[in-house]
Amino acid sequence: MGKVRAKRRSLSQRIGEKGEGIFRVWGTDNHLIPQKTERDYGIDFFCQVMRSVGSSSEEITGAVIGTQVRSITGKSRPRVLVDKTDIESALRLSVPYCLIGIDTDDQHVHHLFLDEPLL
């Protein structure tokens, strides 16, 4: 028998995993409770929105945001691409949709809420 190849993880998968981890920390620091979807069909996280009550507590507002996380790395001009299907799916949501772009090199998080007037 020849050499058997094991399962592999690609560079883009590693970048995506790292970006999702960065988003979890960023969201927690910015009054969100990021909850990863079990099955990813465009929405990576549903986030409950919190508000500060006092100096050390938060409470749930009842608002929820659907987020799609896209991660980039490297020295090239950073850009996140979305296609027509991504946009059409986002507009079908009954909750606000936010596209999250994460530069995994500097761990900077960018966000953009999408709605019909913007498109």
Q: Give the closest residue to 26 by CA, choosing from 114, 112, 113, 107.
A: 107
Q: What's residue 76's pLDDT?
A: 67
Q: How many CB atoms lie within 10 A of CB 84?
A: 7
pLDDT tens, position by position, 9-51: 998 889 999 999 999 999 999 999 999 999 888 899 999 999 9
pTM recorded for the entire structure: 0.85
Residue 89 to residue 44: CA distance in whole angstroms: 13
Say if residue 29 is exposed, middle or buried (CB neighbours under 10 Å; 0-12, 13-18, 19+). exposed
